[in-house]
């Protein structure tokens, strides 16, 4: 089986779309570039995000960072992330577009065994 290697999509400023819309990053793929409006480019550059893979990862992992910067609600960011995932399908690894649930973490001490035996 031949595995298709996906190349990294670099983020560039869109020349056709001036601003993002609430609930939509207005991203477009052309060639090996992901074009987004200036407000999104500025936001991403401030956070050292330069590739589509980093962008979608940030949108899924820290949607609240977009809320403060763009003035959107969290549901708007999640909607924009879903649209971005649709746009990126076939251009980035599917594992990034369909992240599994966060692993369960255990904090604190372990539960003691039912019967403690001292010898």
* Torsion, CA 99, CA 12, CA 83, CA 52, rounded to 10: -10
Mean pLDDT for the stretch of residues 76-94: 92
Q: How far apart are CA 72 and CA 117, in angstroms?
A: 57
pLDDT of 2 reads 43
pLDDT digits (tens, 9 = 90+) for 27-39: 999 989 999 999 9
pLDDT of residue 117: 65
pLDDT of residue 3: 47
Per residue in 16-75, pLDDT (tens digit) is: 888 999 999 999 999 899 999 999 999 999 999 999 999 999 999 899 999 988 999 999
| Helix residue ranges per DSSP H, the chain | 38-46, 52-61, 63-70, 74-88, 94-97
In total, the chain counts a number of residues equal to 119
- Out of 49-58, 89-98, 103-112, least confident range: 103-112
Which pLDDT does position 1 carry in this prediction? 43
Query: pLDDT higher for 96 or 82?
Result: 82
CA 117 to chain centre: 50
């Amino acid at each position: 089986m031949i595995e298709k290697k996906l190349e990294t999509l670099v983020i560039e400023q869109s020349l056709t779309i001036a601003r993002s819309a609430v609930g939509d990053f207005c991203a477009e793929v052309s060639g090996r570039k992901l074009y987004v409006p200036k407000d999104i480019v500025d936001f991403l550059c401030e956070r050292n995000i330069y590739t589509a893979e980093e962008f979608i990862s940030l949108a899924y992992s820290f949607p609240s960072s977009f809320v403060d910067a763009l003035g959107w609600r969290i549901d708007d960011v999640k909607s924009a992330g879903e649209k971005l995932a649709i746009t990126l399908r076939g251009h980035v690894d599917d594992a990034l577009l369909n992240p599994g649930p966060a692993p369960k973490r255990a904090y604190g001490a372990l539960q003691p065994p039912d019967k403690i035996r001292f010898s």
